[in-house]
Amino acid sequence: MATTAVAGCAAITAGLHPPTGMVTETPPFDGTGLPPSSLYAAAAVRAGCPYVNFTPSTGLRTPALTDAAAAGGLPHAGRDGKTGQTLLRAVLAPMFVQRALEVRAWSGTNLLGGGDGAALADPGAAAAKNAGKERVLTDTFGHTPQGEVHIDDVPVLGDWKTAWDHIAFEGFLGSRMILQTIWQGCDSALAAPLVLDLARLVARAYEAGLSGPLPQLGFYFKDPDAGPSGLSEQFTALLSFADRLREAR
């Protein structure tokens, strides 16, 4: 929602549409065949605005839009904000590697309502979300453990999400063990400060003359543009990037 609002405002600023209705319904966007998220990304690029994708949608990740952003000298970051279950995965997965504990399977379930729950009831949207959740495990372990994540829309839960993970692993002499985690949180309260951080950091990067993907912001995303997968390494990269932006003033 935040990404859509920012891109929509950018489109209005660029004179692409009056402040009512949908910019994606008007030329030059109507009939392009691009998904809505990419249409908003196109509007942001045309408006000359840096772009952040806090959703698992395609957004700027098409060759034509990536090239257009590069040609416009625009920085961009994404995708899919890391606020709960994947945040824990980014902390725990490196721990297993560092302690030489072999993860055999990693399964999970998400229960959530609100707009996210309704959107993720669509199998395609859920698949895109789960791909980001799996990426941190694949990047950390060098392979994808057995197990899947199931997402259930429970409207009565509203903005409160429960995420459960079941991790099967082996220790010394093949001893089999289990770790289970439960995360219960308010998605909006978890996401809001991240969106504010990203808006400020990407705007500052633009002021500093940076363009293209910003892998240093991987700390915020399930599916970052590049960079390390562990949260600790991502945080170190973020702090270094913030120092670089501060020095560029």
Taking 60 as the threshold, does the pLDDT of residue 133 lie above it? yes
Our CA angle for 224, 226, 229, nearest 5°, is: 70
CATH of the domain at 230: 3.40.50.720
Residues 69 and 93 reside in one and the same domain = no
Same domain, 200 and 138: no
Whether cis (ω within 30° of 0) applies to the bond prior to 200 is no
209 exposure class (CB count in 10 Å sphere: 0-12, 13-18, 19+): exposed
Per-residue pLDDT of 138-170, as tens digits, reads 999 999 999 999 889 999 998 899 999 999 999
In angstroms, the CA 38 to CA 222 distance is: 19
- Judge if 238 and 158 occupy the same domain: no
Specify the DSSP element, H or E, that contains 140. Answer: helix 123-141
Contact 81, 156 (CB under 8 A): no
Query: Tokens representing 218?
Result: 């991987």
Name the pTM for this structure: 0.80
In this structure, the answer to whether residues 109 and 160 fall within a common structural domain is yes
**71 and 133 co-located in one domain:** no
Q: What is the mean pLDDT of the chain?
A: 85
Under the banding of pLDDT at 50, 70 and 90, the label for residue 11 is very low
Calpha distance 12→127 (Å, rounded): 32
Q: Of 248, 189, 195, which Cα lies nearest the Cα of 217?
A: 195
From the list 46, 42, 83, the residue with the least C-alpha distance to 60 is 42
Q: Are residues 151 and 116 in the same domain?
A: yes
Strands 75-78 and 212-213: parallel
Residues 13 and 67 occupy one common structural domain? yes
Whether residue 184 is found in the same domain as residue 194:
no
CA 4 to chain centre: 14
Among the candidates 138, 157, 188, a domain finishes at: 188
Q: CA 47, CA 63: separation in Å to the nearest integer?
A: 18
Residue 168 sits in a domain whose CATH number is 3.30.360.10
Determine which of 10-14, 58-62, 123-127, 129-133 has the lowest per-residue pLDDT on average: 10-14
On whether both 96 and 74 belong to a single domain, the answer is: no
| Domain count across the chain | 2
State yes or no: pLDDT of 2 exceeds 50: no
Domain ranges, residue 162: 85-188
100: region left, alpha or beta (phi > 0 left; psi from -120 to 50 alpha): left
Average pLDDT over residues 100-111: 95
pLDDT in tens, 24-82: 444 454 555 788 889 989 999 999 999 999 988 888 988 889 999 989 999 999 888 99
159 and 122 in one domain?
Answer: yes
Judged by average pLDDT, the poorest of 6-15, 161-170, 198-207 is 6-15
Final residue belonging to a domain, choices 142, 173, 188: 188
Q: Which of 142, 158, 188 is the last residue of a domain?
A: 188
Do residues 75 and 91 both lie within one domain? no
Whether residue 69 is found in the same domain as residue 120: no
The answer to whether the Cα torsion of 144, 145, 147, 149 is positive or negative is: negative
